[in-house]
A and B are shown apart, each in its own frame.
Chain A
Amino acid sequence: MALDAVFRDQWGRVLATLVGILGDIELAEDAAAEAFAIAAERWPRDGEPANPTGWLVATARNRAIDHLRRRQVLADKTTLLARDIETGLRPPEAFVDDSATIPDERLELIFTCCHPALALEAQVALTLRTLGGLSTDEIALAFLVPFETLSKRLTRAKHKIRNAGIPFAVPPDHQLPDRLAAVLAVVYLIFNQGWGGGRVDLAAEAIHLGRALAGLMPDEPEVLALLALMLLHDARKAARLRDGQIIQLDDQDRTLWDARQIDQGRELLRRAMAHGRSGPYLVQAAIADLHLHEPRDWGQIAALYRTLARQTGSPIVEMNLAVAVAAIDGPEAGLAILDGLDLDHYRYFHSTRAELLRRAGRDGEAHQAYRRALSAAQTEPEQRFLADRVAETAPSAVSEPRQAGA
């Protein structure tokens, strides 16, 4: 197995265990990084140990002990610094107990990283760093944030965890629903940050985290549902763009959809539904599944959006409901819903409204709305797509109603 793959699989596990032992994320991270560097040097030469996790944890723990001892020595101002460091270095293998089962403490770690006492952007960065194993560079690039800003954000968060006493624990039952919702929100936010432009594929990172969570909490329907939702969305990735152009779902080449991922998503959705409890991710996954069927059952989709709107109270859900209603009762019915929403700040509101206006034959208004959407678009394919629509609905490009009537 390539070391990169081992690194990816082991980093979160090893780091979580180390945080459990050392009680400090910063110290654990430094020690883990050293252990992985040693592994990168030795494993290709000596072969991979029988228990890679155990080896990495033991090596990192010894490194951390050395660090702590060095700090202690410095604090004591003893003159034996050099000798102590030397005697402190031992071959890590001597400490490895391959029969010992290393507890998986990634859940404790993710609940720490997604604690509501941390700012959301810090939760996101910390989760990607500690559980995803992404470098600070990669995270900064993915979120288009300067390296320094992200580095400070991570350091501040780690210090707050230590100084404010944010616990390294899975929350008790009475707090679990809220705290789990916070964790899932972070994972879904990472997923929605998207991919492209040579940046890290954050959707893949989110799915990776989702798989880990589903393995750790196999009886939480919302955890399974979130993974299902992400897999069902992501399965259409290859069909979503053609020559840099956004292809809308109805025009997508279905042979490009990832059938295996869709099967996985549907299986997870079934497992989640079997619990008989409805949550926002379950409803969204069910909607994502319905969107993959042809023809689309807009009546069911609209019904689920109504359920979701009740659960979340989100105007963005109402906006999606408007699209489903427009598909059933015509664009004016959808526009009537949109008119009641306060979503002026939301970039997709204007493109959604523009699309319904265009279908309703209100090209002048559609043109204005597309222009607003274009000014708020953030990715190149979006900009290209909207610029085309702006051109299509431009007054010169359409038959002028006034002239037609004259």
Chain B
Amino acid sequence: MQYALLAYSPPEDTDRASRPIPGGLAPLLDRPDVTGWARLHADESATTLRNDDGRMLLTDGPFIDSKEYLAGLILIEADNLDRALAIAAEMLQETRPGTAIEVRPILDGRFRGA
């Protein structure tokens, strides 16, 4: 099965863009069961477009207004939820305290080779 791991990070002081991927996380992203990943700029950079009864509303900022922000998403292949959770747990070990990973099964999608 395919799963999307959505990583939510707590706010940070330093500039995210100038920081490298945490040392322990980089090799995990190279695992063969990771089929794709994206690291996102901080949520100040977000622009949200919303369909409001047919009118497209544009707002500055992320759609979900919370302390934590969506920092990245990782696509993985796993036999079942327990395997997916184990991979997510390994990655979570390498993140800052307060980080959370939401594990969502993928309904369908297409992953073009990078």
Contacts and interface: CB of A to CB of B under 8 A. Distances in A.
Most buried by A among B1, B3, B79, B81: B81
A2 interface: no
B82 interface: yes
A163 B82 contact: no
Contacts of B1: 165
A124 B91 CA distance: 31
B102 to A, nearest CB: 11
B6 interface: no
A164 B81 contact: yes
Which interface class (under 10, 10 to 19, 20 to 34, 35 or more) fits A? Answer: 10 to 19
Interface in A108-148: 115, 117
Say whether chain A's binding surface is mostly helix, strand, loop, or mixed. Answer: loop
Interface string A153-174: 0000000000111110101000
Interface size class of B (residues with CB under 8 A): 10 to 19
What is the interface of chain B mostly: helix, strand, loop, or mixed? mixed
A115 B85 CA distance: 12
A175 B81 contact: no
A165 B103 CA distance: 11
Contact of A175 (B79, B82, B105, B107): B82
25 contacts: A115-B81, A117-B81, A117-B85, A163-B105, A163-B107, A164-B81, A164-B103, A164-B104, A164-B105, A165-B1, A165-B3, A165-B78, A165-B79, A165-B84, A165-B105, A166-B80, A166-B81, A166-B82, A167-B79, A167-B81, A167-B82, A169-B80, A169-B82, A171-B82, A175-B82
Given A117-B81, A165-B79, A167-B80, 12 more contacts: A115-B81, A117-B85, A163-B105, A163-B107, A164-B81, A164-B103, A165-B78, A166-B82, A167-B79, A167-B82, A171-B82, A175-B82
